[in-house]
């Protein structure tokens, strides 16, 4: 296709890999740029040299979806092994299962409720005086009452977001976070699993195409856009504009790695709901690959804090201040030509992996159809505002 057919993909994570692969298969020459020294972005996995455990370097990523096409897509590049996420939490010296379910309720209140009895009991606990919850705290109190809120939601949320739950919108707690049965599978989705050899091996295979060149430890500057027919940008939206309007707010994570001989905590994820415990959770990575056996183990204590200029952004904050700034960046982005912003950072939205892949597939297919019809590719498929 010549020089005019050359496409830049900024970011070697899921968005960049899927878009790059789809367009490479359609005959385009793809140049991928990533500032890190590895592919796969925050999904990056690697074998720990000391223990042999497959470690989720930037924290656990558990694949779950109801989208059959996406499930078949990832399995074409890596065998996904069965995995159910069963989270525990420590609160006031006791261990409970999450999400809050019938076992949690009975254990916490010292009862032996049947489902209908538990439902009626929680309904009595709920604060009915809150008719239109505006904050996270009001939403929780309206749904589950003060006791469950204090034990399982308040402290963890305060540590995760670095502010009082009274300052967070009710929308963060979208639905009743309680199950009135003994199901402790964290996700509801039809397909759940983990890649047998890790996410990085999967993304390596997605990138394995003669039309794709991957440039690691390489910064892509906006001025380079003129060298390409189109740019698919999955880096930070504010970073594309060199943070000219200031930095969008993110939470970042610090990990305190430690090893242990044997089994440290008996589960993959242990939350810590008490605000007196500085970390939000401990993850034990060998439990993310239950088909493997390892004598040693690798664990991460996870700490959440405000993201600084040199930190890795994880969770977009999206409170009032950020939304005003975001609208300004979106307005500026929409004046750009031949660039499409994609992914979690490019659209400043929290996205699960399956949604990221779905949007990347939809983006690449739209690009091909627009090129065939002589149309113009939009700057955003899904508006961040």
Dihedrals phi, psi of 187, to nearest 5 degrees: -110, 155
Contact criterion met (CB below 8 Å) for 284 and 299: yes
Active site annotation includes 352: yes
In the chain, helix, strand, coil percent, each to 5?
35, 20, 40
The interaxial angle of helices 353-373 and 14-25, nearest 10 deg, is: 30
Catalytic residue among 182, 243, 260, 350: 350
Q: Give the Cα separation of 56 and 42 in Å (integer).
A: 8
- How far is the C-alpha of 204 from the C-alpha of 17, rounded, in Å? 9
21 is catalytic: no
66 is catalytic: no
110 φψ region: left (φ > 0), alpha (ψ -120 to 50), beta (else)? left
Determine whether 302 is an active site residue: yes
The candidate with the shortest Cα–Cα distance to 357, out of 344, 369, 345, is 344
Asked about 175 being catalytic, the answer comes back as yes
Residue with tokens 């140049």: 31
Reply yes or no on whether 272 is catalytic.
Answer: no
- Give the C-alpha distances (Å, rounded to integers) separating 250 from 50, 162, 311: 33, 11, 10
Residue 30 has phi, psi (to 5 degrees) of -115, 125
Q: What is the DSSP string of 317-346?
A: ---HHHHHHHHHHHHHHTT-SSEEE-HHHH
Given the structure tokens 């960049």, which residue do they identify? 16
Distance CA(130)–CA(113), nearest Å, equals 26
Neighbours of 4 (CB within 10 A): 7
List 251, 301, 332, 349, catalytic entry: 251
Catalytic residue among 22, 199, 240, 281: 281
Nearest CA-CA partner of 195 in 358, 78, 287: 78
In the three-class reduction of DSSP (H, G, I as helix; E, B as strand; rest coil), residue 279 is classed as: coil
Q: Active site includes 34?
A: no
- What the block records as the tokens of 326 is 């975001």
Q: Which of 50, 131, 175, 310 is catalytic?
A: 175
User: Cα–Cα distance between 160 and 90 in angstroms, integer?
Assistant: 15
Radius of gyration of the chain (CA): 22
Which member of 22, 48, 137, 179 is catalytic? Answer: 179
Q: Which of 31, 184, 284, 302 is catalytic?
A: 302
Active-site positions read 175, 179, 251, 281, 302, 350, 352
């Amino acid at each position: 296709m010549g020089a005019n057919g050359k496409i830049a993909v900024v970011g070697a994570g899921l968005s960049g890999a899927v878009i790059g692969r789809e367009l490479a298969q359609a005959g385009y020459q793809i140049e991928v740029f990533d500032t890190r020294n590895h592919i796969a972005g925050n999904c990056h996995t690697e074998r720990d040299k000391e223990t042999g455990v497959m470690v989720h370097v930037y924290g656990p990523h558990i694949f779950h979806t109801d989208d059959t096409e996406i499930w078949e897509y990832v399995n074409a590049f890596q065998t996904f092994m069965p995995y159910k996420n069963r989270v525990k939490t420590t609160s006031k010296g006791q261990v409970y299962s999450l999400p809050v379910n019938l076992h949690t309720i009975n254990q916490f209140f010292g009862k032996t409720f049947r489902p209908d009895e538990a439902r009626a009991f929680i309904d009595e606990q709920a604060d009915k005086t809150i008719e239109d919850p505006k904050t996270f705290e009001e939403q929780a109190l309206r749904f589950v009452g003060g006791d469950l809120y204090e034990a399982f939601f308040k402290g963890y949320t305060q540590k995760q977001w670095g502010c009082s739950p009274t300052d967070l919108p009710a929308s963060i707690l979208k639905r009743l976070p309680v199950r009135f049965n003994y199901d402790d599978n964290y996700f509801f989705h039809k397909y759940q699993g983990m890649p047998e050899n890790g996410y990085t091996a999967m993304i390596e295979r997605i990138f394995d195409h003669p039309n794709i060149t991957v440039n690691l430890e390489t910064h892509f500057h906006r001025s380079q856009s003129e060298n390409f027919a189109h740019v698919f940008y999955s880096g930070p939206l504010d970073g594309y504009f060199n943070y000219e309007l200031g930095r969008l707010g993110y939470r970042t994570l610090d990990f305190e790695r430690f090893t242990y001989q044997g089994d440290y905590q008996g589960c993959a994820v242990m939350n810590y709901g008490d605000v007196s415990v500085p970390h939000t959770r401990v993850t034990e990575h060998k439990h993310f690959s239950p088909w493997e056996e390892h004598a040693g183990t690798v664990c991460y204590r996870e700490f959440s804090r405000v993201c600084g200029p040199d930190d890795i952004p994880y969770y977009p904050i999206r409170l009032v201040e950020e939304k005003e700034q975001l609208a300004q960046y979106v307005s500026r982005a929409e004046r750009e030509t031949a660039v499409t912003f994609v992914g979690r950072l490019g659209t400043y939205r929290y996205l699960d992996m399956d949604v990221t892949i779905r949007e990347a597939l939809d983006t690449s297919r739209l690009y091909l159809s627009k090129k065939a019809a002589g149309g113009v590719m939009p700057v955003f498929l899904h508006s961040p505002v």
